Structure 1
């Protein structure tokens, strides 16, 4: 098992994040670096495409950029009175005069850290991040189905996070206990859970999911009239399920998880989300250098055009086998899933090696099969 100091050093040296360790062993001053920001961008895109509280319901998107907005990440029920929530329902109104349950919409909100009521929403301090990005999903459903849809959403979201890890058992659901003060003010039937990642040195939050059965008094007349016009004609308020992800905190949690493995210096990032998915390497014997360089550039361009992300500025080209092995291990520490290895015989027969980060094993494939084969791997 790696010590926390080793984990932080590994993430810092690979330019994913920086952090310090508090006197009580907590993770402090956590900040995403260049590669960590790139990973968070991929996580955001993946959330937009695949994260859902109900996969059978089409998602609507509302992007809100409000650096001066106030976000209380500690209060899990007051959102039903927020302008953001009511604006989302009005967005549904604008798209359809007869919106039927269920309905889902997503919002991306960027908030200046000074406007957060709770700076450390996770179990470590990320207050050095000036702008925080929150990912919200709202799911309106019939009140009679609220509880069952709430439990279904928990399972779906937990599985979504488990797919990022080589050890899915790290992720678990933790029921949220409302304080005695808040219990008297939350609507009856309100429930909430937190999805957490349990690591040897910390337990980190990645997402919160809350069910709130709405009352008609929570909403204005126009919204009530809209929501009452549902497919079954009942004049009732829906239940709402809300998911909240602090993108910077969740990205940091996933990065810490990826270092927690049995390999000495390998970052086991999910291959779909890795900032760099492939690197081209060549160990030559000093012959046909121009041809080999041209071939490596051609392979890089083919892979880039196919949509894969390459660390092209650091293409490995060396005459020393040990040097190439050293560079490949550096790629492992960056979390790059695959390396395409070219040699002089590739110029003659078109065969090259494909090296896997996770197993450090190599398989032989023909250059003509390369882009489609890799795309198939990354799509699974």
Structure 2
């Protein structure tokens, strides 16, 4: 069994996705995977926060074709978004400006040799309307910013690279540019996680904006970023599983981990089990109130001995839970507990009064 096949098996058993059919690998996100995708989408919404958010649309044609990648400024949807910018966000209707919208499509953005995605797909689309004379400068800056964003989400930042795309012979490089940001998985191949395309609009009176500095009306050049959410989700999940360590774990970015913290108590004394359960419920309430995402179910696990605790922590690691609070009978006496890290598998001692501020500082930084 290859390294990636083991990753697919581990992620499927942990409830992130499943293979939809027996023909190749066609993935369908399950509960944990859908939650991860939701958090990734929310993280994308926070990227470039000055953008005008235009809501969700439905694509009538495939965005996968080479022609569609460069002809989108002529589409009805792009023009409708432009008019929505003028009407709903007049203060942002200047050049340069950013537009964001979501789009559902019945076909995948592109194919890759590692896996396919069950349709429909959700596309995260950013349109950057820039001054024509600075378009290449903006394009290169956006490439760099996007690559850094993916690297920060990854357990292996060296996995990502920028790949220039060949243009058709009839496309002038001064007016059209395209690159892919790809995630590499060695001999298994690469997955495109983001497409960036530059298109210069010419002689279109309906698509003009005032220059933010001079006020002069200009014909903007458009730089479009397209991320297929489901493909990016599965690529990042594979990245978190394919880390080359001996230990089984899912090294998800702690901001995007579906569950940020778990609670486990070791009940070796049955007489104190009720008190320990009450303490766990109190911690669950405190962490939930602080906005931290706890493991599903009761929010805490009860174990009888070190062996059961080790099994629970292994399951937590495969869910990508970054931290687990471990309590025992001594916690009832002195308020001390162990904060165990998924990444290092080491534990540090903290006091109950430091929860949740200590954890919040970790996630903030």
Q: TM-score, normalised by structure 2?
A: 0.92
Q: Does 1:369 align with 2:354?
A: yes
Q: Does 1:348 align with 2:333?
A: yes
| Counterpart for residue 189 of structure 1 | 175
Residue number among 47, 53, 74 corresponding to 2:65 in the alignment: 74
In the alignment, the residues of structure 1 paired with residue 20 and residue 93 of structure 2 have an alpha-carbon distance, to the nearest angstrom, of 49
In the alignment, the residues of structure 1 paired with residue 238 and residue 75 of structure 2 have an alpha-carbon distance, to the nearest angstrom, of 33
| Counterpart for residue 86 of structure 2 | 93
1:245-290 CA deviation, whole Å, 9 max, x = no partner? 0000111111111111114310101110011111100012123111
In the alignment, the residues of structure 1 paired with residue 8 and residue 15 of structure 2 have an alpha-carbon distance, to the nearest angstrom, of 11
| Counterpart for residue 262 of structure 2 | 279
| Counterpart for residue 108 of structure 1 | 102
| Counterpart for residue 244 of structure 1 | 226
Q: Please list, as runs of the form range in 1=range in 2, the aligned pairs for 1:241-320 lying within 5 A after superposition.
A: 241-261=223-243, 262-286=245-269, 287-313=271-297, 315-320=300-305
Residue number among 184, 196, 201 corresponding to 1:214 in the alignment: 201
Q: Classify the secondary structure of the residue corresponding to 2:180.
A: strand
Deviation at residue 97 of structure 1 after TM alignment: 7.4
Residue 31 of structure 1 contacts residue 126 of structure 1 at CA under 8 Å; is this kept in 2?
Answer: no
Please give the root-mean-square deviation of Cα atoms over the aligned residues, in Å: 2.3
In the alignment, the residues of structure 1 paired with residue 297 and residue 215 of structure 2 have an alpha-carbon distance, to the nearest angstrom, of 61
Residue 119 of structure 1 contacts residue 125 of structure 1 at CA under 8 Å; is this kept in 2?
Answer: no
| Counterpart for residue 360 of structure 1 | 345
In the alignment, the residues of structure 2 paired with residue 242 and residue 263 of structure 1 have an alpha-carbon distance, to the nearest angstrom, of 40
| Counterpart for residue 234 of structure 1 | 216
In the alignment, the residues of structure 1 paired with residue 110 and residue 211 of structure 2 have an alpha-carbon distance, to the nearest angstrom, of 41
User: 1:98–1:29: structure 2 CA closer, same or farther, 3 Å change rule?
Assistant: closer
Deviation at residue 312 of structure 1 after TM alignment: 4.2
Mean CA deviation greater in 279-288 or 40-49: 279-288
Residue 351 of structure 1 contacts residue 365 of structure 1 at CA under 8 Å; is this kept in 2?
Answer: yes
Number of residue-to-residue matches in the alignment: 358
| Counterpart for residue 53 of structure 2 | 61
Residue 196 of structure 1 contacts residue 205 of structure 1 at CA under 8 Å; is this kept in 2?
Answer: yes
Deviation at residue 101 of structure 1 after TM alignment: 1.6
| Counterpart for residue 40 of structure 2 | 43
Gap runs ≥5 in structure 2: none
User: 1:215–1:187: structure 2 CA closer, same or farther, 3 Å change rule?
Assistant: farther
Residue 277 of structure 1 contacts residue 309 of structure 1 at CA under 8 Å; is this kept in 2?
Answer: yes
Gap runs ≥5 in structure 1: none
User: 1:21–1:313: structure 2 CA closer, same or farther, 3 Å change rule?
Assistant: closer
Deviation at residue 187 of structure 1 after TM alignment: 7.8
Deviation at residue 69 of structure 1 after TM alignment: 2.8
Mean CA deviation greater in 152-161 or 314-323: 314-323
In the alignment, the residues of structure 1 paired with residue 158 and residue 211 of structure 2 have an alpha-carbon distance, to the nearest angstrom, of 43
Deviation at residue 340 of structure 1 after TM alignment: 0.4
User: 1:126–1:186: structure 2 CA closer, same or farther, 3 Å change rule?
Assistant: farther
Deviation at residue 72 of structure 1 after TM alignment: 2.0
User: 1:140–1:303: structure 2 CA closer, same or farther, 3 Å change rule?
Assistant: same
User: 1:119–1:192: structure 2 CA closer, same or farther, 3 Å change rule?
Assistant: closer
In the alignment, the residues of structure 1 paired with residue 285 and residue 172 of structure 2 have an alpha-carbon distance, to the nearest angstrom, of 56
In the alignment, the residues of structure 2 paired with residue 279 and residue 125 of structure 1 have an alpha-carbon distance, to the nearest angstrom, of 31
Residue number among 99, 104, 116 corresponding to 1:126 in the alignment: 116
Q: Classify the secondary structure of the residue corresponding to 2:321.
A: coil
Q: Does 1:166 align with 2:149?
A: no
| Counterpart for residue 19 of structure 2 | 19
In the alignment, the residues of structure 1 paired with residue 218 and residue 242 of structure 2 have an alpha-carbon distance, to the nearest angstrom, of 48
In the alignment, the residues of structure 2 paired with residue 251 and residue 166 of structure 1 have an alpha-carbon distance, to the nearest angstrom, of 14
Q: TM-score, normalised by structure 1?
A: 0.88
